[in-house]
Amino acid sequence: MKADETLDCVGLYCPMPIVHTAKKIKELKTGQVLAVLSDDEGIKEDIPSWCKTTGNEYLGIEEEEGVYRAFVKKSG
């Protein structure tokens, strides 16, 4: 999956990836996609949940060697 911006949260634990995601998404335009990198397994549940709360669109997650890449599409 392709992203317009990437946010590296490797090495950080809850709630920091969510805090950074919330800050970063403000810099994006509606319809753009943000990839959030994290090695905390909680991200698999937390990003979709955060999207549900904030109204952004969760596109999916990829895993490669213990690092997760979660994709969020900014909604209006």
9 is catalytic: no
Catalytic residue among 1, 10, 14, 16: 14
CB nearer to another protein: pick between 50 and 71:
50
Contacts of 73 (CB under 8 A, 6+ apart): 31, 32, 33, 34, 56, 57, 58, 59
Residues 75, 51: Cα–Cα separation, whole Å:
10
CB of residue 23 to another protein, shortest distance in Å:
8
- In the complex, the residues that contact another protein under the rule CB under 8 A are 11-16, 18-19, 21-22, 50, 53-54
Shortest Å distance, C-beta 42 to another protein: 11
